[in-house]
Amino acid sequence: MLAALTRLVGSRLAPGGGNARLSILMYHRVLTDPDPLLPGQMHAALFDTHMQALRTHFNCLPLGEAVTRLRNGTLPPRAACVTFDDGYRDNVEVALPILRKHRVPAIFFIATGYLDGGRMFNDTVIEAIRGANVPELDLTDFKAGVLALNTVEQRRAAISACLRVAKYRNPEKRLDFVAEVAQRSGARLPDDLMMDSAQLEILLNAGMEIGAHTVHHPILLRIADDEARKEIVDSKRQLKS
């Protein structure tokens, strides 16, 4: 009954053919287990229920095929695609087995500058505060005050405060600030958060698609046009090689 209703609603909201609508589910990380420090983050059990529901009620297509069929008016009703941004290692280790289990295709957009041991600035902040071996972080010189790190709630608040400071700085100053947070935290930072090149092969061999997601993951609207073009082109070139 529920399935029939969902199908009916799905067909109305997402018809096929000339009036087709394509639903795209965008993911970033898929953690093995829920993380108290990052309560909103996707994890394996929840992702499994998403893919189960998607497989049951939608027609899941590879993004490349879906875009072609959207253009030429041959998209089936309730068409859906799954995408992953950034290139996290957990996409291969945690999400891929679940995608295969439910036979859902996906495309992985890779920020190539972080392949093989890189780390994005937001993760440096998160991991510095997770692994901090000091009771507080004094960031008064960055106008961020003294951040207590005794409880999970305090660490969560500290992460938000640091990400806020980082966000409003230009890329160079942002990296300086993040490096300072990392250094003052005394944490040992992981260098295995992102995929390595061999894992791209694993995705391709599993029938998944790979797309470019710039080199350094800048906000393209905030950088000069020629710089943005270079980020896009270089990322695509690196993936092809």
Chain contacts with Zn ion (rule: CB under 5 A): 85-86
Judged by CB, which is closer to Zn ion: 62, or 211?
A: 211
Write down the number of H helices and E strands in the chain. Answer: 10, 7
Please state the closest distance from residue 29 (CB atom) to Zn ion, in A.
11
Q: Are 125 and 178 in contact (CB under 8 A)?
A: yes
Residue with the closest Cβ to Zn ion? 85
Half-sphere exposure of 37 toward its Cβ, with a 13 Å CA cutoff?
17
Nearer to Zn ion, 152 or 220 (CB): 220
Map tokens 């199908």 to a residue. 7
- Smallest separation (angstroms) from Zn ion to the CB of 85: 4
Question: Considering the complex, what minimum distance in angstroms separates the CB of residue 217 from Zn ion?
Answer: 6
The residue among 28 and 55 lying less far from Zn ion, judged by its C-beta, is 28
Q: How far is the CB of 63 from Zn ion (least distance, A)?
A: 15
Amino acid at 109: F
Q: How far apart are CA 47 and CA 94, in angstroms?
A: 9
Nearest residue (CB) to Zn ion, 26 versus 146: 26
Find the angle CA(90)-CA(202)-CA(120) to the nearest 5 degrees. 40
Element (H, E) at 156: helix 152-167
Nearer to Zn ion, 85 or 144 (CB): 85
Output the smallest distance, CB 200 to Zn ion, in A. 16
